[in-house]
């Protein structure tokens, strides 16, 4: 160890030089306060004589001592104690005058020991602080890795942070993948080169063998620390691929290749860092830049990157697991939608279209720069929540009777068939009566007046048949559902009051009370009881979705789906809640749901309306206070109605 002795310029250190082992001690005069400093982390002693006290203020001495230096003060003749202008805590020794070289030597050596101890303490504290910073940094990175679920973002974060903590200019990341035959390969997933950002990245695979650096690391599980990749030992099995360097004029020198092991100690990837730099922001353009900036990877960097690689491996495994769970859940959702559409094939694609438009409207709301929703923002998880809620909003229809669910007309097919048979029976009865009356006339009157009678009877008969056909026409027309309350049923009700004689001769009405009730439904194809049953699908949906253990990010799905038939003014169903209780996600879904129901081409119980007509109907509901006016405006301005989504696979 070498030592530094600082002294006033008037003092001559040669008096104690032989005993100080001058080959290890440098004596340097200090003329001003600015020159008083610990140099090169050497144990440093400042010899302060009485004449120099005024040149070195207390704060200067305090800084020197705090930096690890030691002070030995020389007293004036007659001073037996430390003078009050020098704080005793600054001194490692005080020599009264006159003194001897031996006493001075002892004091200086004691000062060196104290300075060395202080330097060691400072070094230990600095190292401890550095370790604490590193641990804190690794912890912070670990938290970031643990919260990121998108695999592409996660890989970029891993490589970026690894380069940052090691001050590496470049790096690459490989992941182990297994094909259907069980063969493993390394997929080159990501590369970063600070000095060559223009270099393109091409994903490819390489064998898991000892021929490449990454392959060797994946096979052995051991890290590789290479000071200069162009000068590898002759007995190693691996080689470096210089194609990147040759193509882009780069110089790969120091390298660190670390296997990424999961909690089972299985290697899932390899992290490769290139060219550790003195200055992280330095750009390696010329060969001189590489020689000046690039340094080998230290043992400490290996330890840090190994720890980070372990965290990264677990994070990647968690991300893959989360991705698998998402795929599994996505499959479940699409299967649920498929189950709904299997029960009612005429609504195929409805859930997907509603989901697409609702997510599209959420994205428009997210970008809104003005209006009441300018501050509303949706995260990626919230958009996923909206999509799932929209896809599953009609799942409760599995609890509705199929004949009600697929009812296309006001009368069920069997009931309409009965009316048709009744009409045919009445018509044939009229024809029988026509021929009976002709026969009775001939029997009673013969040919006398027969022609005139037949002419008159035929005219009356044809008029009766025409009226009977009008009856069926009215029934068929009334049986067609309408989108809006429409039409008059006076003529239908008049026919319902008419009677005919059945097979047993008992008088029966042309239409039964139940048939009249169905045929006089003013809107749609369902009566009150059937509509109530259909409306119950919302409650069934909510109860079903409540049973699913949603993650924290998706826990609002049941509530969002529950209100898709509620209206802002409280006239919706099933809870008849008003605007304040309806989530904005649900309000968006309601607009999308109504628009698709109006314009869908595949509903047998209604005709599809044009986009303009659908807008007119929706506008009327907005003016009536049933729909959110601001969201409807964004729906139109953002042309959300044009948003398409692939339907679930059949």
- Return the pLDDT at 606: 62
- Locate 203 and state its tokens: 């994903």
Nearest to 360 by CA among 601, 585, 613: 585
Q: b or e along 263-293 (b: 16 or more beta carbons within 10 Å of the residue's beta carbon)?
A: eeeebbbbbbbbbbbeeeebebeeeebbeeb
pLDDT at 134 over 70: no
**pLDDT band at residue 650 under the 50/70/90 scheme:** very low
Q: Domain spans of the chain?
A: 3-123, 156-320, 344-404+530-642, 413-523
The length of the chain is 650
Q: Look up the CATH number of domain 3-123.
A: 3.40.50.2300
- Rounded CA-CA distance 252/109 in Å is 49
CB distance 358 to 583 below 8 Å: no
- Rounded CA-CA distance 103/15 in Å is 12
Tell me what the mean pLDDT of segment 341-350 comes to.
78
Nearest to 567 by CA among 627, 633, 632: 627
pLDDT in tens, 408-441: 888 989 999 999 999 999 999 999 999 999 998 9
Residue percentage of the chain with pLDDT more than 90: 42
pLDDT at 598 over 50: yes
- Rounded CA-CA distance 7/48 in Å is 7
Tell me what the mean pLDDT of segment 22-30 comes to.
81
Tell me what the mean pLDDT of segment 303-326 comes to.
81
- Return the pLDDT at 1: 62
Q: Which residue has the higher pLDDT, 138 or 587?
A: 587
Phi, psi angle pair for 482, to nearest 5°? -120, 155
Nearest to 49 by CA among 73, 33, 31, 71: 73
- Rounded CA-CA distance 534/35 in Å is 91
- Which residues, in sequence order, are bridge partners of residue 172? 191, 272
CB distance 318 to 263 below 8 Å: no
Residue percentage of the chain with pLDDT more than 70: 93
- Rounded CA-CA distance 220/269 in Å is 12
CB distance 377 to 384 below 8 Å: no
Q: pTM, whole model, 2 decimals?
A: 0.60
pLDDT at 150 over 90: no
- Rounded CA-CA distance 168/490 in Å is 87
Number of other residues whose CB lies within 10 A of the CB of residue 386: 26
**pLDDT band at residue 334 under the 50/70/90 scheme:** confident
CB distance 540 to 396 below 8 Å: yes
Q: Which residue has the higher pLDDT, 373 or 99?
A: 373
- CATH, domain 344-404+530-642, list 3.60.40.10, 3.30.2020.10, 2.40.30.10, 1.10.3210.10: 1.10.3210.10
pLDDT at 604 over 60: no
- Return the pLDDT at 385: 94
**pLDDT band at residue 646 under the 50/70/90 scheme:** very low
SS3 97: strand
Tell me if domain 3-123 and domain 156-320 are identical in fold. no
Distance from the Cα of residue 208 to its chain's centroid: 33
Q: Which residues contact 540 (CB under 8 A, 6 or more apart)?
A: 395, 396, 397, 398, 399, 400
- Return the pLDDT at 648: 45
Number of other residues whose CB lies within 10 A of the CB of residue 154: 21
- Return the pLDDT at 137: 72
Q: Which residue has the higher pLDDT, 565 or 86?
A: 565
What is the CATH T-level fold of the domain 156-320, as seen in this structure?
A: Beta-Lactamase (3.30.450)
Tell me what the mean pLDDT of segment 460-476 comes to.
92
**pLDDT band at residue 633 under the 50/70/90 scheme:** very high
Q: Which residue has the higher pLDDT, 347 or 177?
A: 177
pLDDT in tens, 260-287: 888 788 898 999 999 999 999 999 999 9
**How deeply is 627 buried, as exposed, middle or buried, from its count of CB atoms within 10 A (0-12, 13-18, 19+)?**
buried
For residue 207, what is the DSSP state? E
- Which residues, in sequence order, are bridge partners of residue 261? 267
- Rounded CA-CA distance 644/640 in Å is 9
- Across all residues in the chain, what is the average pLDDT? 87
Q: β-strands 44-48, 70-77: how paired?
A: parallel
CB distance 238 to 211 below 8 Å: yes
Q: Which residues contact 630 (CB under 8 A, 6 or more apart)?
A: 371, 372, 373
pLDDT at 576 over 90: yes
- Rounded CA-CA distance 67/550 in Å is 58
Interhelix angle 151-166/299-343, rounded to 10 degrees, is 170
pLDDT in tens, 606-628: 677 889 999 999 999 999 999 99
CB distance 304 to 166 below 8 Å: yes
Tell me what the mean pLDDT of segment 139-144 comes to.
68
pLDDT in tens, 202-249: 889 999 999 999 999 999 999 999 999 999 999 999 999 899 999 999
**Three-state secondary structure readout of 335-404:** HHHHHHHHHCHHHCCHHHHHHHHHHHHHHHHHHCCCCCCCCCCCCHHHHHHHHHHHHCCCHHHHHCCHHH
pLDDT in tens, 526-537: 888 888 888 888
Q: Which residues contact 462 (CB under 8 A, 6 or more apart)?
A: none
Number of other residues whose CB lies within 10 A of the CB of residue 536: 16
**pLDDT band at residue 36 under the 50/70/90 scheme:** confident
CB distance 434 to 463 below 8 Å: no
Nearest to 478 by CA among 453, 499, 495, 456: 495
User: How close are the terminal C-alpha atoms of the chain, in Å?
Assistant: 81
- Rounded CA-CA distance 336/332 in Å is 6
**pLDDT band at residue 67 under the 50/70/90 scheme:** confident
Phi, psi angle pair for 249, to nearest 5°? 65, 40
DSSP labels, 420-485: HHHHHHHHHHHHHHHHHHHHHHHHHHTTTTHHHHHHHHHHHHHHHHHHHHHHHHHHHHHTS--SSS
């Amino acid at each position: 160890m070498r030592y530094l002795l600082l002294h006033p310029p008037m003092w001559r250190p040669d008096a104690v030089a032989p005993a100080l082992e001058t080959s290890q001690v440098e004596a340097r005069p200090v003329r001003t306060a600015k020159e008083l400093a610990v140099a090169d982390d050497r144990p440093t002693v400042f010899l302060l004589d009485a004449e120099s006290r005024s040149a070195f203020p207390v704060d200067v001495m305090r800084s020197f001592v705090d930096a690890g230096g030691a002070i030995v003060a020389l007293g004036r003749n007659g001073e037996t104690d430390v003078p009050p202008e020098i704080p005793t805590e600054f001194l490692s020794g005080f020599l009264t005058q006159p003194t001897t070289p031996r006493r001075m030597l002892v004091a200086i050596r004691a000062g060196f020991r104290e300075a060395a101890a202080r330097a060691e303490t400072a070094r230990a504290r600095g190292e401890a602080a550095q370790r604490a910073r590193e641990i804190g940094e690794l912890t912070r990175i670990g938290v970031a890795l643990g919260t990121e679920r998108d695999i592409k973002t996660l890989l970029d974060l891993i490589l970026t942070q690894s380069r940052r903590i090691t001050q590496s200019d470049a790096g690459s990341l490989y992941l182990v993948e297994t094909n259907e035959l069980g063969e493993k390969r390394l997929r080159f997933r990501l590369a970063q080169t600070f000095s060559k950002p223009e270099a393109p990245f091409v994903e490819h695979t390489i064998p898991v063998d000892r021929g490449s650096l990454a392959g060797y690391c994946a096979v052995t599980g051991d890290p590789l620390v290479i000071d200069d990749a162009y000068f590898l030992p002759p007995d190693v099995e691996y080689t470096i691929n210089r194609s990147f360097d040759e193509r882009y004029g780069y110089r790969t020198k120091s390298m660190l290749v670390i296997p990424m092991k999961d909690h089972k100690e299985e290697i899932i990837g390899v992290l490769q860092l290139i060219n550790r730099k003195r200055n992280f922001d330095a750009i390696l353009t010329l060969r001189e830049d590489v020689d000046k900036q690039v340094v080998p990877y230290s043992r400490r960097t290996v330890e840090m990157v190994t720890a980070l690689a372990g965290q990264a491996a677990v994070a990647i495994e968690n991300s893959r697991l989360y991705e698998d769970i998402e795929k599994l859940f996505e499959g479940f959702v699409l299967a649920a939608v498929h189950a709904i559409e299997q029960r009612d094939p005429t609504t195929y694609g409805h859930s997907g279209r509603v989901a697409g438009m609702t997510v599209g409207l959420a994205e428009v709301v997210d970008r809104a720069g003005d209006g009441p929703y300018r501050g509303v923002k949706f995260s990626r998880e919230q958009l996923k929540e909206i999509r799932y809620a929209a896809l599953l909003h009609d799942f409760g229809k599995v609890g509705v009777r199929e004949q009600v669910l697929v009812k296309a007309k006001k009368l069920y097919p069997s009931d309409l068939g009965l009316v048709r048979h009744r009409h045919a029976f009445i018509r044939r009865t009229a024809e029988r009566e026509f021929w009976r009356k002709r026969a009775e006339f001939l029997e009673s009157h013969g040919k006398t007046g027969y022609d005139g009678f037949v002419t008159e009877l035929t005219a009356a008969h044809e008029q009766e048949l025409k009226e009977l056909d009008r009856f069926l026409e009215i029934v068929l027309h009334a049986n067609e559902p309408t989108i809006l309350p429409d039409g008059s049923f006076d003529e239908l009700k008049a026919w319902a009051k008419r009677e005919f004689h059945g097979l047993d001769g008992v008088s029966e009405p042309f239409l039964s009370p139940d048939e009249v009730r169905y045929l006089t439904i003013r809107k749609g194809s369902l009566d009150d009881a059937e509509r109530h049953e259909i409306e119950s699908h919302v409650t069934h949906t909510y109860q079903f979705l409540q049973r699913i253990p949603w993650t924290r990010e998706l826990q609002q799905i049941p509530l969002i789906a529950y209100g898709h038939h509620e209206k802002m003014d409280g006239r919706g169903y099933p809870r008849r809640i008003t605007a304040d209780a309806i989530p904005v996600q649900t309000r968006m879904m309601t607009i999308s749901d109504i628009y698709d129901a109006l314009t869908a081409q595949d509903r047998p119980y209604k005709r599809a309306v044009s986009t303009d007509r659908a807008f007119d109907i929706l506008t009327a509901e907005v003016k009536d206070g049933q729909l959110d006016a601001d969201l409807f405006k964004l729906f139109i301005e953002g042309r959300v109605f044009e948003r398409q989504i692939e339907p679930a696979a059949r």
